[in-house]
Structure 1
Amino acid sequence: MITLTSLSKIYRTDEIETVALENVNLIVRRGEFLSVMGPSGCGKSTLLNMMGLLDKPTTGTITINGTCTEGMKDKELAAFRNKTLGFVFQSFHLINSLNVIDNVELPLLYRRCSGSERRRLAREVLEKVGLSHRMNHFPAQLSGGQCQRVAVARAVIGNPEIILADEPTGNLDSRMGAEVMELLHRLNKEDGRTIVMVT
């Protein structure tokens, strides 16, 4: 599903060179739930960003679902990312001026999908994450755990095979964090989605 080969990332300024990742080789198989654990600053988020095609490696190759992404132009990467990957971030990244259902619909705006179809799919996925009763509320009216469940709904609405989660429980208390983890495990077991999470 995901293959990283000899992956390295070096950040350079005029005087400083920082090695964030060096010679990473990793295979994530279809349907796996993989957790990448490590202390702050060890390169976990850098790894996830490159796996999610949000950043490019200094050296090495990334192959996702049989497609080698090396040499792909930015527009090609964006289209491939939108079709194949879903993202869940620690800080939710919800738009406060949009209600829940409009936030969830956002990824479908980049696809040829009618307004009625977007609304139907958003309702379905909000039902799946247990928030159909809050679809007209705004992020400020939700708890942290509910905001993260909205973020998970937004990540899966385009039906990606792979979900990348960057410390999705980092801003939540233990009870809400457990709810989000249970939801991710359910998406993995019941829907067969491949999930990579850093923590």
Structure 2
Amino acid sequence: MIKLEKVSKTYFTDKVQTLALKDIDLHVQKSEFVCIMGPSGCGKSTLLNIIGLLDRPGAGEIHVGGKAVQSYKDKHVARLRNDTFGFIFQSFHLINDLRVIDNVELPLLYRSMSGSERRERARAALEKVGLGARMEHYPNQLSGGQQQRVAIARAMVGQPDVLLADEPTGNLDSKMGAEVMDILLKLNEEGTTVVMVTHDEKEASRAHRIVRVFDGQLVA
């Protein structure tokens, strides 16, 4: 499904260069649930961003669905990213001036489909995460756990093959965090590949596999 081969990433400033990732070899299988763990600043989020084509590596190869993508032009990368991946972030990144259903529709604006089809998909996604009755609310009228469920609905509305989640329970209490994990696990059971960054060993233990990162490298 996703394969990284000898992927490295270095960030440069005027005076400093920082090696974020070094020689990463990683293969994520279709319908797998993988957790990425490691201390703060070790390169976890950089790795997730490269997997999701939000960032390009400085060296190495990325294969998505068996195709090498490092030579793709930006517009082709953007189309592949929109078709293949759904993104869930720790801070939700919802737009407070838009209703819940409008937030969920956003990824579909970049696809060729009618407004009625976008609305129906958004409704279905919100029903799936248990927020069918909150479609007309605004994000600031919801609890943190509900906002994260909206973010999950937004991530899955495009029916992506892969969900990428960066600390999706980091801003939630244990009860709300467990509810979010249950939703991700159910989506995975239905066939969606999930790659999640987390600091929580208990959450990670529910995944199929744990990948550990230290100083930009994979460790056993």
What TM-score comes out, normalization by structure 1 length?
0.98
> Which residue in the other structure is 2:196 paired with?
197
Q: Secondary structure at the match of 2:19?
A: strand
SS in 2 for 1:116: helix
CA distance in 2, matches of 1:174, 1:117: 36
Shift of 1:183: 0.4
What pairs up with 1:1-199 in 2 under 5 angstroms?
A: 1-189=1-189, 191-199=190-198
Residue type matched to 1:195 in 2? V
The equivalent residue for 2:212 is none
Q: Would you say how many aligned residue pairs link Structure 1 and Structure 2?
A: 198
Give secondary structure in 2 for the equivalent of 1:121.
helix
* CA deviations over 1:148-192 (Å, ceiling 9, x no partner): 000000001111110000000001111101100000000001x20
Separation of aligned partners in 1, 2:171 and 2:62: 30
CA distance in 2, matches of 1:175, 1:69: 39
How far apart in 2 are the matches of 1:12 and 1:100?
Answer: 39
AA partner of residue 21 (structure 1): L
Q: Among the aligned pairs, what percent are the same residue? A: 63
- Provide the rounded CA distance (Å) in 2 between the counterparts of 1:87 and 1:171: 16
Give SS of 1:62's match: strand
Report the 3-state secondary structure (helix = DSSP H, G, I; strand = E; otherwise coil) of the residue aligned with 2:6.
strand
Q: AA paired with 1:141? A: Q
Report the CA distance between 1:66 and its aligned residue: 1.4
Length-normalised TM-score, structure 2: 0.89
> Alpha-carbon deviations, 1:43-64, whole Å to 9, x = none?
0000000111111101001111
Q: Report SS of the residue matched to 1:145.
A: helix
Q: Supply the AA of the counterpart residue of 1:115.
A: G
Displacement, 1:14?
A: 2.4
Q: Hey, what's the Cα distance between the residues in 2 that align with 1:98 and 1:68?
A: 37
What is the rounded CA distance, in whole Å, between the counterparts of 1:68 and 1:177 in structure 2?
35
**How far apart are the structure 1 equivalents of 2:92 and 2:128?**
18
3-state SS, counterpart of residue 83 of structure 2: helix
Structure 1 counterpart SS, 2:39: coil
Structure 2: tracts of 5 or more residues without a match: 199-220
Task: Name the CA distance, whole Å, in 2 between partners of 1:83 and 1:94.
Answer: 20
- Larger RCO (CA within 8 A; separation ≥ 6): 2
SS of residue matched to 2:21: strand
| Partner secondary structure for residue 24 of structure 1 | strand
